[in-house]
A and B are shown apart, each in its own frame.
Chain A
Amino acid sequence: MNELITGFKQMAPSIPYIINGVWVSLGIALGASILGFIGGILLSLCKIGQVKILSGLAHVYTSIFRGTPLILQLAIAYFGIPQLFQMGDVNPLTCAIITFGLNSAAYMSEIIRSGINAVDKGQFEASKALGVSYWPTMKDIILPQAIKNILPAMMNEFITLTKDSAIVSTISVTDMMRRSQIVAANIFSYFPPMLVSLVMYYIIVMALTYLGNRLERRMRRSD
Chain B
Amino acid sequence: MIKAEHIYKNFGDIHVLKDVSMEVNKGEVVVIIGPSGSGKSTFLRCINLLEEPTKGQVQIDDQNLTELSPKQVVKVREKVGMVFQHFYLFPHKTVLENLIYAPMKVKGLSRDEAVARAKELLKKVGLFDKINQYPNKLSGGQQQRVAIARSLAMEPDYMLFDEPTSALDPEMVKEVLDVIQSLAESGMTMIIVTHEMGFAKMVADKVIFMDDGQILESNTPENFFNHPSTERAKDFLQKIL
Contact = CB atoms under 8 A, between A and B. Distances in A.
Chain B binds chain A: yes
Interface of A: 120, 122-123, 125-133, 136, 140-141, 144-145, 148, 222-223
6 contacts: A126-B82, A126-B90, A129-B151, A130-B81, A130-B101, A130-B154
B158 to A, nearest CB: 11
Interface of B: 48, 50, 71, 74-75, 77-78, 80-82, 84, 86, 88-92, 101-102, 105-106, 134, 136, 147, 150-151, 154
B92 A125 contact: no
Given A130-B77, A148-B92, A125 B102 contact: no
A222 B136 CA distance: 9
A149 to B, nearest CB: 11
Nearest to A223: B136
A125 B84 contact: yes
A125 B134 contact: no
A132 B78 CA distance: 8
Contact of A131 (B74, B88, B147): B74
Contacts of A136: 105
A222 B134 contact: yes
Nearest to A130: B102
- Majority SS at the chain B contact face: mixed
Contact of B88 (A120, A132, A133): A120
Contacts of B147: 126
- Majority SS at the chain A contact face: helix
Contacts of A145: 91-92
A120 B167 CA distance: 16
A122 B88 contact: yes
A140 B101 contact: yes
A132 B106 contact: yes
Contacts of A140: 101, 105
B136 to A, nearest CB: 6
Contact of B106 (A120, A123, A131, A148): A131
A122 B86 CA distance: 8
B90 A141 contact: yes
Given A125-B84, A126-B84, A141-B90, A131 B154 contact: yes
A190 to B, nearest CB: 51
Given A120-B88, A145-B92, A130 B50 contact: no
Nearest to B153: A130
Contact of B77 (A122, A123, A131, A141): A131
Which of A122, A130, A141 has the most CB atoms of chain B within a 10 A radius of its CB? A130
A126 B105 contact: no
A133 B74 contact: yes
Contacts of B48: 129
